[in-house]
Structure 1
């Protein structure tokens, strides 16, 4: 029976000079999934992608693809075609020849090359543009050519290194939808590198969040956003508010937490907490309600300092009665604007607990 694990990284380390870029990376990726490597510049995500592709040799650990160790294999023998940020198209070659390049290197029969190139171009909606040159095409079309060049190899895994970063916002969204559609239609395993949180959340089956050469969390977009394991992950993905607290007691999957000036909330939790344990509460701006008519499990009082109209929502910056600033998003409120003293609150299921030592 074929293993569902297509890529298995075991204790992978990479060092450039004095810089330890990848630190004991262990990761298993299943077939047919869209995986995003997410993190800021310099966190190790692109280095790991290039180590999987074979452009970098790992200093320690093993890279397994489809049940085989590939550490000593060159890129063209790994079956890991890569789509680069700059597309890396040959300017003197037509679209057809660019897409056919990998098949020509492998000396595939002409009839097979014709069939596979045409099929790949159809998948990325470039049929009829076979004889154009890269300089005659838009950035979005060039990106599609680069994608077709990867698809034509029929490889088990495709690697994409920030392939949409050179496109404008509207085109990025269009191509994002196309990429995800192609991946799902063909059942491809895709590893996608980006620093764009929205891109990661909207496209991925699973997200790997990198922090200084280590993996902070590997989970679904919902897990990463609503159940971050560390303060770093919570802060990097979207916007959130933090407040310190102390666990008073836990009964089953409910923990009573003291926070602020004499306030308490009973919060659902998956973890096990000790009485007196210091924790951090994370509350997303969209989870808070302004001046709610009913009592909520978690609430604060403060004064509106400023606000920002963002179309679908109004973002408020509020200074609470302990001098801490909060961000609260109010949606679909029409022409109502909140000013002066306010209460803002959230239901217990919208509050996430994390260990304080991970701050």
Structure 2
């Protein structure tokens, strides 16, 4: 069951007027995984989620769930309960009645409804609050009610549309942990939509990065962060330094490139299909860089600390001008040392550098 495909999207397209919102989406999601759709506003992630749920009809392509074609089925027959950003709780109903609503619509036996609602509320730690109304609950509790309403349907897949965006930062972090624990404990398949990179990186088995209606990359959080396939992904996820470089030599999966005004060279590992003389980008994360120090590393460049450093608690962030004419960002974690000023050397190990092929 571990490798069984639960959701299979084949060439899915959606157009609103003149806007091609979803462009040839092909994606397979395994059962029991926590998958995050990540991207800025207007990139298509919520449109795809609502197309899976059946709230939108796709203009082209197929949506398969658990081996069944869903295109012509209404939302209530798809088995895809959704937790909305606003929770969409009925204010005049108690917690119990809100959670039981879907089962009531299906006309389930009363005894079954009682058992399943109690079980769902226990899973989200709301036992004893069955008779409260939404206005008597905190935002975090309301979010759990919405989650219980999805869990009670015993569906193969649960869809979450930015469910934590209305919570404060501390509560968001607490509920993130709870959601992930529930998913792991119950072996649920969850698709989670967010524009929050921290949520995506910390909660997901895999992340789908959207760019203008298309999928730029699908991979684990580590792959998305450290091995971005495109400049867009590298730039969107976290912070990175881009270095213009030219391929000088290729040997197996090793590419030697030159960079900077001094035409220094560094050899990095890559799986890209490259040619000698090709222009490429190097991506180096701020935390992978060093300033001065004895372990210079294979990559080195002169720089000047040109602006203030930014104290971020566990690290100091420096803004430098490199000899390539670009601004560099370097994170230094040994906060107790003397601050850097003026001319410095910035360096990194070759295994911390990721090569990105430039799209035509």
Q: What TM-score results when the alignment is normalised by the length of structure 2?
A: 0.98
- Whether contact under 8 Å (2:314, 2:335) holds in the other structure is no
1:299, CA displacement in angstroms? 1.1
1:272, CA displacement in angstroms? 3.2
**Corresponding residue for residue 273 of structure 2:** 272
**Corresponding residue for residue 9 of structure 1:** 9
**Corresponding residue for residue 74 of structure 1:** 74
In 1, the alpha carbon distance for the partners of 2:204 and 2:177 equals: 11
- Whether contact under 8 Å (1:292, 1:344) holds in the other structure is no
In 2, the alpha carbon distance for the partners of 1:295 and 1:114 equals: 66
In 1, the alpha carbon distance for the partners of 2:293 and 2:182 equals: 44
- Whether contact under 8 Å (2:37, 2:209) holds in the other structure is yes
1:321, CA displacement in angstroms? 2.2
Matching residue within 347, 350, 354 for 2:349:
347
Matched, 1:191 2:207: no
**What's the CA shift string for 1:183-210, capped at 9, x where partnerless?**
0000000000000001000000000000
In 2, the alpha carbon distance for the partners of 1:357 and 1:254 equals: 20
- Whether contact under 8 Å (1:23, 1:214) holds in the other structure is yes
- How many residue pairs were aligned? 358
Following superposition of structure 1 onto structure 2, how do residues 123-134 of structure 1 map, counting pairs within 5 Å? 123-134=123-134
1:2, CA displacement in angstroms? 9.8
- Whether contact under 8 Å (2:2, 2:32) holds in the other structure is no
User: Is the deviation greater in 262-271 or in 100-109?
Assistant: 262-271
**Corresponding residue for residue 88 of structure 1:** 88
- Whether contact under 8 Å (2:253, 2:269) holds in the other structure is yes
1:15, CA displacement in angstroms? 0.6
**Corresponding residue for residue 295 of structure 2:** 294
Q: Which residues of structure 2 form unaligned runs of 5+?
A: none
Q: RMSD of the alignment, in Å?
A: 1.2
Following superposition of structure 1 onto structure 2, how do residues 211-290 of structure 1 map, counting pairs within 5 Å? 211-261=211-261, 262-290=263-291
**Corresponding residue for residue 99 of structure 2:** 99
Query: SS of 1:42's equivalent?
Result: coil
In 1, the alpha carbon distance for the partners of 2:274 and 2:185 equals: 44
Query: SS of 2:309's equivalent?
Result: strand
In 1, the alpha carbon distance for the partners of 2:143 and 2:324 equals: 51
In 2, the alpha carbon distance for the partners of 1:173 and 1:156 equals: 26
After TM superposition, the runs of 4+ consecutive aligned structure 1 residues lying more than 3 A away are none
**What's the CA shift string for 1:107-157, capped at 9, x where partnerless?**
111111111111111111111100000000000000000000000000000
1:95, CA displacement in angstroms? 0.2
1:322, CA displacement in angstroms? 3.2
Q: Which residues of structure 1 form unaligned runs of 5+?
A: none
- Whether contact under 8 Å (2:2, 2:31) holds in the other structure is no
- Whether contact under 8 Å (2:284, 2:352) holds in the other structure is yes
**What's the CA shift string for 1:29-79, capped at 9, x where partnerless?**
010000000000000000000000000000111110111111010000000
In 1, the alpha carbon distance for the partners of 2:309 and 2:315 equals: 10
**Corresponding residue for residue 339 of structure 2:** 337
1:290, CA displacement in angstroms? 1.0
**Corresponding residue for residue 328 of structure 2:** 326
- Whether contact under 8 Å (1:292, 1:345) holds in the other structure is no
- Whether contact under 8 Å (2:272, 2:357) holds in the other structure is no
